[in-house]
Amino acid sequence: MKRYLVLEDGTVYEGKAFGADVDSVGELVFNTGVVGYIETLTDPSYYGQIVMQTFPLMGNYGIIEADFEGECHVRGYVVREWCRQPSNFRCEYDLDTFLKRRGVPGICGVDTRAITQHIREHGVMNAVICSEVPASLDKLKDYAVVDAVKSVSTGVTEIFPAQGEKKHNITLIDYGAKHNIERELQRRGCEVKVVPYDTTAEAVLAEHPDGVMLSNGPGDPAENVACVAELKKLLGKVPIFGICLGHQLLALAAGGRTEKLKYGHRGANQPCKDLTTGHTYITSQNHGYAVVADSLPSFGKVRFVNANDLTCEGVEYPEYRAFTVQFHPEACAGPMDTSFLFDKFMDLMNERG
């Protein structure tokens, strides 16, 4: 059955349908990962977006629910080819079944290389996956990703026990957290309390955590005014480690600014340079906004930059016992190049006493 990918600038790509039989509007972005489509489809940071994979074949090892990072919040899925007969001893069902169960439309048989080049030249834009090309693009142009964090954050407080001997109590503020963040902390002997995005600083500090973890999440960081206000109250009161959106929110709380990138960084092969050591790491990333390095206060020191475009990828706030990174150290992209940052967080809490 024919299906179309229509961009807000009027560009139309014809392909074939798979996944759910529905039309869907979203912000079209591309991911350069060769593998990891399960983690991509279940990453809450893709809320409101249609995801396109630049690697031509997806679904060849099927769907494994133990590898889910969260709930599926994508608005559509675009691939060159999807594998109808996956081969993997862990496979539970195929990609088409996954999308159908979650009401997500897919389109295959399109030239993903050409679409990627179009986005790189013109920037990310809204798109619709549909069975018929719409006569008007007004609805498509008006679409915007709003209330993203509110839509993906947990609604309840949950506690995850430490593995082995308990060493620290961590409060993880969930802005759309990937499960592997809590797993990395648990492995290091941390009991992790996951709390909703709108938890107040007073409520966090009342539990006397040894450290606070700020998770990844979707959307425009500047939209989260209330979250930023609470982080201002936490800064300097307790050791803090922020990832992705957590990195951006703490920069805003410190007085910095963020900006939207032309087409963002999404994939498991993003080079990131450590300005302290000179080492370059291969990292997993998923973001469309970046911290403006020149906007940071004097007490914020840029430690990591993207090796491709030199955008800010990590900041240290030594006076306030806090540090953040834009990439995902829990994602094992290199395969475990930057997992040392969790150890750095442990050291920071140990120094506290």
Residues with a catalytic annotation lie at: 244, 328, 330
Q: Give the number of other CB atoms < 10 A from CB of residue 307.
A: 15
CA distance 148 to 143: 13
Contact between residue 156 and residue 146 where contact means Cβ atoms under 8 Å apart: no
Separation of alpha carbons 106 and 75, rounded Å: 9
Interstrand relation of 190-195 and 158-160 (parallel, antiparallel or unpaired):
antiparallel
Classify residue 212 by burial, with Cβ atoms within 10 Å: 0-12, 13-18, 19+. buried
Nearest to 241 by CA among 177, 172, 151, 289: 172
Element (H, E) at 139: helix 138-142
DSSP string, 248-285: HHHHHHTT--EEEEEEEEEEEEEEEEETTT--EEEEEE
Name the residue among 164, 184, 111 with its Cα closest to residue 345: 184
Would you call 220 helix, strand, or coil by DSSP?
coil
